[in-house]
Amino acid sequence: MLVRPLAAVVLILVANFACDRAASQTTAPQSASSAAPATPLPTNHVLVISVDGLRADMLEPPMITEFPALTRLLRGPHTLNARTDPDFTVTLPNHISMVTGRATLGEAGHGWTLNTDPAGVDQGGTIHATKGAYVASMFDVAHDAGVATGVFVSKTKFWVFTQSYGDTFGAPDIVEPDEGTAKIDLFVHADSMSDLGGTVADHLRRKHGKTLDFVHFAAPDIAGHSYDWKVNNTSKYFEAVVEVDHAIAEILRAIDETEHLRGTTAIILTADHGGGVPLKTHTDMTCPLNFRIPFLVWMGDASAALDLQALNPARTKPARDELITRVADKQPIRNGDAANAALHLLGLPSVPGSRYGADEPLHFAPPTSSDKTKN
Ligand SMILES: [Zn+2]
């Protein structure tokens, strides 16, 4: 049985050098069981984790066996065939999509196309100034409802979050009691993946009330740009994903060891883009190696590894080389689903003005008999 994994490795290596659609389609999908999940416990804590530049095929055999923490996160509804923003495969437009639930372009888009450090707030460096209207985020809905919010990142361009949702430019809280205009309670920047994981773990241990935290791990993207996006267990890209896996393990350890976190914490993990085409970047919008990404929902180890696409027939199930345009009525599951998925897990409404999962929330379990009788 040694032959099959080796063959898969060879195909993936070939795919690193060009946008080889056939190779991309040949990688084996992660198997998902059809068992019903355990009844989800009330979720008090949600982490949205973005692993910058994480290709979906890193979470498929044979590579996934190298990442025990990421393997654990696959014990829940997930798809390894989710999509980036329909028009951009770069960092910032996709991350703003993750927290606003919107595409980048179009009338309902968030409108932020830059991928550099934002201008100062007095030079228009907020999402709202660029859009010409307030663009609400998951932080608005959560914070207004009394949920503590945090942002833990490893790139300085995420200042656009605090500039847009900080005290000065955050919207007034119209939900009683008034929690103020600053929608993000804590903003942490760290270069080291282990520092970031440890900080998030310590933060969660101390937080007893409801929390919504956004965590960004940059290492795989940095390794990809410096070397390449080679999917094998000797590349610098691989080493960076191992670093992220260790950081996530630290967070999972905090959840396991802390009574108020255990059984009440959910993790949504996705990526802003994949990478490798052209070799040291991810800017070719037409290549599935760049636009095919994971979308994982972990609700504790008891939840079953269900196929998130099968649970959500209202969303399109693209072939592995199809991106699906922004204007298509039926959208694939995208990283932009993270905002509303996180809020719904906390029992909160969708982000105002958002699109992905806004009117029809993503389903994380098969319909129950009582759901069916409601229709
Ligand atoms: Zn990048």
Q: Which CATH number covers residue 278?
A: 3.40.720.10
Q: Is residue 375 part of a domain?
A: no
| Cα-to-centroid distance, 227 and ligand 1 (Å) | 12
Q: Does residue 100 lie within any of the structural domains?
A: yes
Tokens of 373: 């009788």
Residue keyed to tokens 């990478």 = 275
The Å distance, Cα 153 to ligand 1 centre, comes to: 14
| In the predicted structure, residue 11 carries a pLDDT above the cut 50 | no
Domain limits at 126?
44-363
Tell me whether residue 185 is in a domain: yes
**Ligand 1 centre distance from Cα of residue 259 (Å):** 37
- Ligand 1 geometric centre to CA of 219 (Å): 10
Cα(225) to ligand 1 centroid in Å equals: 6
- The reported pTM is 0.90
Is the residue at 241 inside a domain? yes
- Split into its structural domains, the chain has a count of 1
- 3-25 per-residue burial string, b: 16 or more CB within 10 A, e: under 16: eeeeebeebbeebbeebbbebbe
How far lies 180's CA from each of 226, 257, 339, in Å?
Answer: 42, 33, 21
- Alpha-carbon distance of 364 to 307, in angstroms, equals 9
Centre of ligand 1 to C-alpha 257, Å, is 34
Alpha carbons 135 and 94: distance in angstroms, whole number = 15
Instruction: Tell me how far the alpha carbon of residue 299 lies from the centroid of ligand 1, in angstroms.
Output: 29
Tell me the average pLDDT across 26-34: 39
pLDDT tens digits for range 266-310: 999 999 999 999 999 999 999 999 999 999 999 998 888 999 999
How far is the centre of ligand 1, averaged over its atoms, from the C-alpha of 118 (Å)? 16
Distance 223 CA to ligand 1 centre (A): 9
Question: 81 by DSSP, 3-state: which?
Answer: strand
Q: Is the pLDDT of residue 203 over 50?
A: yes
